[in-house]
Structure 1
Amino acid sequence: MHRPAARSLLIALATLSAPSALALDVAGPAPTASTAATVALPSPQQVFAIPPAMRDMLRTQVINRGYSREQHLQALVEMIFDRHGMDLQYDADATLTVSEIWQQRRANCLAFTLMFVALAREAGIQARVQEVGQVVSWYQDQDQGLVYTVGHVNAGVGFGGRFATVDLDRNVLYDRRGPQPISQARALAHFYNNRGAERMASGDLAGARTFFSAALVQDSSFAATWNNLGVLENRSGDTGAARRALETALRLDGRQDAALNNASTLYRTLGMTAQAQSLEQRLRSVQREDPFTQYMLGAQAERAGQLDDAIRYYRQAVRLYDTAHQFHFGLARVYFLAGQLTRADRELLRAQELGGASQQARYQSKLDSLARWRAQQQARR
């Protein structure tokens, strides 16, 4: 994700939580020599604390300008991204506290959300952290790159009793439930979970355990952390603890893809074939009824040139979530590649209808290109 200019920020801040769906490593690397005592675990107060110099900038560039709340919001965005303000840079690995963001001028999406909410509240703007169960996010060209993730969080800002979602990513598609407000404890669970995932990815298993434990202290019902803890226990060689953690994740969220996959893999290594098959069957059932998974499978098939499979997956995604313009656009692409031009035209029109003003020009360009291609083909006959 690139850092957007302040003027492009949508009032509709999508933040992708760092890995909450880590895959089980059956072989498991040897634990590192690091110990939990070496881990600097920020307290909840330290996560959100605004340093004095940052508060001074906020007062000068936002609070003291005497604007309305809406103008304060725009001034806050400018302060964060403008070169005369913080000039914040995006860094996918920077799950930082607010103070660390100020010092380093970088943040990932989760850290940005926590900082944004803290600063907005300081400026008198009603703000909250929100969570979305599933998202698909497109990066670079929507025809090429996309990311599917769980544990998505963003910010909501309130005006006159109504909340708008401030979204850093123009190209994010939420699940049907959309953003839901979460408690500060749940937001902190996301933070500590991310830090733990980063530690585990670097091989620091003891440090990861410290952060996962902190996440569960904040919210013991956070299934994503139980899944990650199961991966950690397995990598540490304790398959019994791994099984208990993964089974806890599934009790909390029986439809979580990562936990279903990880638990079934573990069951097979333990010789629990029947239990593994049962979870695998459940996983297939969940994926068949998940429009995002179907879309991802369609995109994979499209890239592999397997157009019939891509059409089938995209059609299923559209059936499950028929108001997602991106899904109709994907289906239009593969219809076009398969030579089914009438159907491609129909899906492009539907994508244009659903995309709204921000997508009108893009989809009109696609429609015009399709019309020119048709004219060229007819001229050659």
Structure 2
Amino acid sequence: MTELESRAFSVYYDANATLPAAEVFSRRRGNCMAFSALMVAMARELGIEAHFNQVMVPATWQLESEQIAVYRHVNVVADAGRGQRVIDFNFTGYSADYRQRQLTDAEAFARYYSNISMELLDNGDYREAHRYLQKALQLNPGDTTLWNNLGVIYRRAGEASRARSAYLIALQQDDENLSAMANLEQLSRAGGELALADNLSHRLTSYRRKNPYFWYTQALKAYRRGDYTSAADSAENAISIEDLDHRFHFLLGMARFRLGDSDYRGEFRTAMKLADSDVALSGYRRKMDLLGEEIAASPRRERRHPNRAPLWWWWH
């Protein structure tokens, strides 16, 4: 009996392992892109219709003030004849309500090469990072995040003029690309182009304050440093823009709990009602146990989204 047949086969998550499908299988590790490539290859070998799926997971870390390289979450949607299922490593940080779309193989492998490029960049290998990013752009020149990442490579290599050109191309294709906008703002300020930098900074502030995940990030930062009043205020701002994300309500509940505000129980109930997976709900129940709280969740609210994902397959 093979390991697959005995269910003894495991693949471990490694964020920095953008490996070919065969190596994921042999080395038992990989990141979401590498794991997805393995799953698509295996599914298609079995005659199962499968494609890469981009999940627009809110990347709150993109709001930091450093040069921003973009990674995006990719999983697999497969249909073995009984309806579509999502195949993923883990759905702890995943919501079926996140926007998502099918990727062509060319788009997916452009992401694959971009991931390798960023790993090489982290290791200081600018030449190879540039080579892989060029391969990605050959596959999908319309992907603005690839142009942003190319700018990051040039900036770290000391090629400010080329970095500027890459960021501008990204913004010409998508004038709301916040990552490219933030990177160009920093580059412009460092280069003495203060008028441009100030304009970009104003635009960034405007976009971010309309983004609930900006406020969620601010709330998380405040909570972690023990500023529970600011955490509650920022979480409330996030909820005022998007009130169906259970994480916003749970964080507000935690901030209010730390402040001794009795309203925290209502936010916990709302978070549990909105929880979009059994994993999220069980996580909240464990937290309630740790806090010594017994809060019964109301019947879970049915949430609808035009791009809602199909049902899930779990991979342990």
Query: For 1:181, which of 102, 107, 128 is the aligned residue?
Result: 102
| Map of 2:58 onto structure 1 | 135
Q: Residues 215 and 225 of structure 1 are in contact (CA less than 8 Å); yes or no, is this contact kept in structure 2?
A: yes
Aligned to 2:244: 323
| Equivalent residue letter for 1:307 | Y
Structure-1 residue corresponding to 2:113: 192
| Distance (whole Å) between structure 1 residues aligned to residue 97 and residue 177 of structure 2 | 16
Aligned counterpart, 1:355? 275
Measure the CA separation in 2 of the matches of 1:200 and 1:187: 20
Taking the aligned partners of 2:156 and 2:281, their CA distance within structure 1 comes to: 49
For 1:200, the aligned partner's letter is L
Letter in 2 for 1:296: T
Partner of 1:124: 47
Report the counterpart of residue 35 of structure 2 in structure 1: 112
Cα shift at 1:274: 1.1
| Higher-Rg member (1/2) | 1
From the superposition, tell whether residues 80 and 213 of structure 1 become closer, same or farther in structure 2 (CA, over 3 Å): farther
Cα contact 1:230–1:243 (8 A) shared by 2: yes
Q: Secondary structure at the match of 1:134?
A: coil
Equivalent residue number for residue 45 of structure 1: none
Size of the alignment, in residue pairs?
Answer: 284
Worse-matched range after superposition: 332-341 or 351-360: 351-360
What is the one-letter code of the residue matched to 1:352? M
Q: Deviations over 1:261-290 (max 9, x none)?
A: 110011112221111111111111222122
- Matched letter for residue 29 of structure 2: R
Deviation at 1:90, TM superposition (A): 2.2
From the superposition, tell whether residues 174 and 283 of structure 1 become closer, same or farther in structure 2 (CA, over 3 Å): farther
- CA pair 215-88 structure 1, distance change in 2 beyond 3 A: same
Cα distance change of structure 1 residues 357 and 264 upon mapping to structure 2, 3 Å threshold: closer
Aligned to 1:36: none
Q: Is the 8 A contact 2:57 2:98 kept in 1?
A: no
Contact 2:51 2:78 in 1 (8 A): yes
Conserved in 2, the CA contact under 8 Å of 1:345 and 1:367?
Answer: no
Query: Which residue is equivalent to 1:333?
Result: 254
User: 1:314 matched to which residue of 2?
Assistant: 235
Does the Cα contact within 8 Å between 1:91 and 1:108 map onto a contact in 2?
Answer: yes
Q: Cα gap change, 1:283/1:304 in structure 2, threshold over 3 Å: closer, same or farther?
A: same
Q: Deviations for 1:304-337, whole angstroms, at most 9, x for unmatched residues? A: 1112211121112222332221221111000111
**Corresponding letter in the other structure for 1:223:** T
Residue aligning to 1:88: 11
Whole-angstrom distance in 1 between the partners of 2:118 and 2:170: 16
Q: Relative to 1, partners in 2 of residues 1:175 and 1:204: Cα closer, same or farther, differing over 3 Å?
A: farther
C-alpha separation in 2, matches of 1:234 and 1:81: 49
8 Å CA contact 1:132, 1:175 repeated in 2: no
The two structures have a TM-score, normalised by structure 1, of 0.68
| Unaligned segments of structure 1, at least 5 residues | 1-59, 62-77, 138-148, 373-381
User: How far apart, CA to CA, are the structure 2 residues paired with 1:356 and 1:230?
Assistant: 37
State the AA in 1 paired with 2:273.
E
**2:302 equivalent in structure 1:** none
User: 2:4 corresponds to which residue?
Assistant: 79
- Cα distance in 2 between the residues matched to 1:269 and 1:365: 47
Written as runs of structure 1 = structure 2, the 5 A alignment for 1:121-270 is: 121-135=44-58, 150-158=71-79, 160=81, 162-174=83-95, 177-270=98-191
Is the CA contact 1:135–1:173 (under 8 Å) kept in the aligned structure 2? no
SS of the residue 1:180 aligns to: strand
Match of 2:57, SS state, is: strand
Q: In the alignment, what sits opposite 1:9?
A: none
Which residue is 1:13 aligned to?
none
* 1:346 paired to 2:259: no
Query: How far apart are the structure 1 equivalents of 2:144 and 2:43?
Result: 29
Percent identical pairs in the alignment equals 30
1:294 alignment partner, one of 185, 190, 215: 215
CA distance in 2, matches of 1:81, 1:198: 34
Secondary structure at the residue paired with 2:58?
strand
Q: Please give the per-residue CA displacement for 1:49-101, whole angstroms capped at 9, x wherever unaligned.
A: xxxxxxxxxxx86xxxxxxxxxxxxxxxx839943x4x323222110111222
Q: Which residue of 2 aligns with 1:24?
A: none
1: CA distance, partners of 2:170 / 2:277: 41
- In structure 2, what is the Cα distance between the partners aligned to 1:273 and 1:81? 63
- Counterpart residue type for residue 100 of structure 1: E
Instruction: State the one-letter code of the partner of 1:96.
Output: L
Instruction: Judge conservation of contact 1:135–1:152 (CA < 8 Å) in 2.
Output: no
CA distance in 2, matches of 1:297, 1:238: 32
SS at match of 2:273: helix
Q: TM-score, normalized by length of structure 2?
A: 0.81
Does the CA contact (< 8 Å) of 2:96 and 2:276 recur in 1? no
Aligned equivalents of 1:172 and 1:361: distance in 2? 13
Partners of 1:323 and 1:80 lie apart in 2 by: 41
AA matched with 1:353 = K
1:150-180 CA-to-partner distances (Å, cap 9, x unmatched) read 5221111225585332232221245955221
Q: CA deviation at 1:122?
A: 1.1
For 2:33, the aligned partner's letter is L
Amino acid at match of 2:228: L
